[in-house]
């Protein structure tokens, strides 16, 4: 605590009651640090971790990531690894705009699309142009930055919300133009809904990197994505540590104050915008070189929400945070695709959530017993009255759970709809209850949630993954707006 009090060390220590020796705002801003300092062993560990330089973490992360293909040789895992690297890049770029610049850019995915389409146009049979990768990628990155500047231009005079809507409209427009791009004054430029196919893979100095190697996903693309990630990460890190990074952050904290201090606010907004756009365009080229095709619907708002969920979950403003967020969200999406994993994940989350909410108290014991008993009682009654409603699985975790939760062999649609509606209503209702009333009311809700998850959501992974992402966004910004690794920010009023 002593290092937080500046001034002459020989001066008599101020008693706590006289208030802080530093300025009030600073005192407020350092509240987090002081709490950490008091945090015992855990706080000490966190402080030690904070003392480790950022590049050490980066090198460690890259080392672990590059060993991954050696451990797991399946093409599926490598492809997921590549996708994760792409998402990490996109999250890093969005972090510049949202996390550092404080601008809500809802057209971000359009720049990803611009990069992808530009690469497809300049390196495919579509127009017979085959630019070498070494030329195409930097050129398209710069192109992305320029278009970012153009789109950012109207934002000069716009406050946050207006910028959000202009960029969102830009994304919508991008999709429209790409969809109708096969009839621009009679020319077919973007291929319309059919997209552009047979895009060249990456090639360096005449050597083409094949997409498939011995029938499975070639690991070289994974390493290319990782390498680009490392370069972008370091470049953005330096930008953030430099003068422009500091100005971005001041812009985020208070645009008006920054302007009064003589900062070129408009120029700063534009550069943040263009940097994000350049990173997105760069990512688009790599993605397209692997998939070999682009379609307008690859760049829909759903991708945008996914990237936002990554940035918010990890902690906007923290590079390590958004990378972590990208990994977690992408793994989550993959897990939701697989019924068995999705089932395990759900019950795991319920157990962890209940543990975190109640700790090891008598309430927890009551809750657990009530929930388990309730399930078996309902299951027993229903299987006696209406056996087809309570089919029992045979093996594994799903078999185990099917003795507890009802899994009708065929679910009538209205039952699922009513159950979902009642579930949402009762979750809303339970937030109004306090104390023991909540403990008593929670088990039926949990049971209903399990019923809905098993019968309605696991069979429909498409909508489910986006429902989960939407909920994740809402819950996160309310419960933990600075994410997992976000900077502690204090609003000074």
Partner 1 sequence: MPTFLQLTLDALTLGSVYALVALGYSLVYGVLKLLNFAHGDVVMVGSFIGYGALQALGGSANPAVPVWLLLVLITLAAMAGCAVLGVAIERCAYRPLRNAPRIVPLISALGVSFFLANSMQLLFGAQQRDYQSYLLSGGSLYFRGFDVDTVHVPLLRIITISSAFVLMVILWFMVNKTRTGRAMRATSFDGEAAAMMGIDVDRVIVFTFILGSALAGAAGVLLGLRIPTFTAIGFTLGLKGFTAAVIGGIGSIPGAMVGGLLLGAAESYTAGYWTTSWSDLVVFSILITFMIFRPQGLLGREDIRKV
- Where do contacts with partner 1 occur on this chain (CB under 8 A)? 98, 102, 104, 106, 154, 157-158, 160-162, 164-166, 168-170, 172-173, 176-177, 179-180, 183, 256, 260, 301-302, 305, 308, 312, 416-417, 420, 424, 428, 431, 456-457, 460, 462-464, 466-467, 469-474, 477-478, 481, 491
Closest CA to 293 of 190, 425, 422: 190
Q: What's the distance, CA 451 to chain centroid?
A: 28
Report d(CA 215, CA 182) in Å as an integer: 34
**392 Cβ neighbours under 8 A, 6+ residues apart:** 399, 402, 403
Report d(CA 436, CA 150) in Å as an integer: 58
Report d(CA 303, CA 34) in Å as an integer: 39
Nearer to partner 1, 162 or 267 (CB): 162
Nearer to partner 1, 375 or 416 (CB): 416
Q: How far is the CB of 103 from partner 1 (least distance, A)?
A: 8
Nearer to partner 1, 227 or 471 (CB): 471
Q: How far is the CB of 193 from partner 1 (least distance, A)?
A: 11
Q: How far is the CB of 3 from partner 1 (least distance, A)?
A: 30
Report d(CA 57, CA 392) in Å as an integer: 48
Nearer to partner 1, 331 or 424 (CB): 424
Q: How far is the CB of 296 from partner 1 (least distance, A)?
A: 12
Nearer to partner 1, 264 or 429 (CB): 429
Asked if 390 and 382 count as a contact pair (C-beta separation under 8 A), the reply is yes
| Residue spans of alpha helices (H) in 359-395 | 362-385
Report d(CA 268, CA 324) in Å as an integer: 27
Q: How far is the CB of 23 from partner 1 (least distance, A)?
A: 20
Q: Is 202 helix (H, G, I), strand (E, B) or coil?
A: coil
Nearer to partner 1, 170 or 273 (CB): 170
Asked if 7 and 26 count as a contact pair (C-beta separation under 8 A), the reply is no
Q: How far is the CB of 420 from partner 1 (least distance, A)?
A: 6
Nearer to partner 1, 29 or 158 (CB): 158
Report d(CA 456, CA 441) in Å as an integer: 23
Q: How far is the CB of 417 from partner 1 (least distance, A)?
A: 5
**66 Cβ neighbours under 8 A, 6+ residues apart:** 223, 226
How does DSSP assign 96-142, residue by residue? IIIIIS----TTHHHHHHHHHHHHHHHEETTTTEE--HHHHHHHHHH
Q: How far is the CB of 481 from partner 1 (least distance, A)?
A: 6
HSE toward the beta carbon, residue 375, CA cutoff 13 A: 22
Nearer to partner 1, 210 or 463 (CB): 463
Phi, psi of 332 (to 5 degrees): -60, -45
């Amino acid at each position: 605590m002593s290092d937080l009090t500046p001034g002459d060390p020989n001066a008599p220590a101020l008693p706590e009651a006289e208030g802080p020796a530093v300025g009030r705002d600073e005192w407020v801003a350092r509240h987090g640090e002081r709490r950490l300092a008091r945090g015992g062993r855990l706080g000490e560990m966190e402080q030690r971790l904070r003392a480790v330089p950022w590049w050490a973490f980066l090198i460690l992360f890259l080392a672990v990531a590059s060993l991954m293909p050696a451990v797991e040789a399946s093409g599926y895992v490598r492809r997921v690894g590549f996708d994760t690297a792409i998402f990490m890049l996109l999250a890093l770029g969005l972090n510049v705009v949202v996390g550092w610049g404080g601008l809500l850019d809802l057209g971000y995915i359009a720049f990803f699309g611009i990069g992808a389409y530009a690469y497809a146009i300049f390196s495919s049979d579509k127009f017979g142009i085959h630019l070498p990768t070494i030329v195409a990628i930097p050129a398209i990155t710069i192109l992305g930055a320029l278009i970012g500047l153009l789109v950012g231009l109207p934002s000069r005079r716009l406050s946050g919300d207006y910028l959000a809507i202009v960029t969102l409209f830009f994304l919508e427009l991008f999709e429209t133009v790409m969809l109708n791009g096969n009839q621009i004054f009679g020319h077919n430029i973007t291929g319309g809904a059919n997209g552009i196919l047979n895009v060249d893979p990456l090639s360096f100095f005449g050597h083409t990197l094949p997409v498939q190697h011995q029938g499975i996903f070639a690991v070289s693309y994974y390493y290319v994505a990782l390498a680009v990630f490392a370069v972008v990460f370091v470049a953005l890190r330096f930008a953030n540590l430099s003068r422009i990074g500091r100005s971005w952050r001041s812009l985020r904290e208070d645009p008006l104050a920054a302007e009064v201090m003589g900062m070129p606010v408009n120029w700063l907004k534009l550069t943040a915008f263009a940097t994000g756009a350049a990173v997105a365009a760069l990512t688009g080229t790599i993605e397209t070189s692997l998939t070999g095709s682009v379609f307008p619907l690859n760049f829909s708002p759903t991708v945008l929400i996914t990237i936002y969920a990554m940035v918010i979950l990890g902690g906007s403003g923290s590079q390590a945070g958004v990378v972590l967020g990208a990994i977690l969200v992408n793994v989550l999406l993959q897990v939701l695709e697989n019924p068995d994993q999705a089932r395990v994940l759900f019950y795991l989350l319920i157990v962890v959530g209940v543990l975190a909410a109640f700790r090891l108290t008598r309430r927890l014991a009551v809750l657990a017993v009530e929930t388990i008993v309730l399930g078996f009682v309902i299951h027993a009654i229903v299987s006696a009255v209406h056996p087809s409603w309570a089919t029992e699985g045979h093996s594994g975790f799903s078999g185990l759970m099917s003795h507890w939760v009802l899994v009708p062999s065929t679910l009538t649609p209205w039952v699922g709809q009513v159950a979902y509606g009642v579930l949402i209503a009762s979750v809303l209702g339970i937030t109004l209850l306090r104390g023991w009333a909540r403990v008593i009311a929670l088990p039926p809700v949990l049971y209903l949630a399990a019923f809905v998850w098993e019968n309605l959501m696991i069979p429909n992974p498409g909508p489910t993954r986006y429902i989960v992402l939407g909920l994740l966004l809402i819950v996160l910004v309310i419960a933990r707006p600075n994410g997992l690794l976000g900077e502690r920010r204090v609003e000074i009023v």
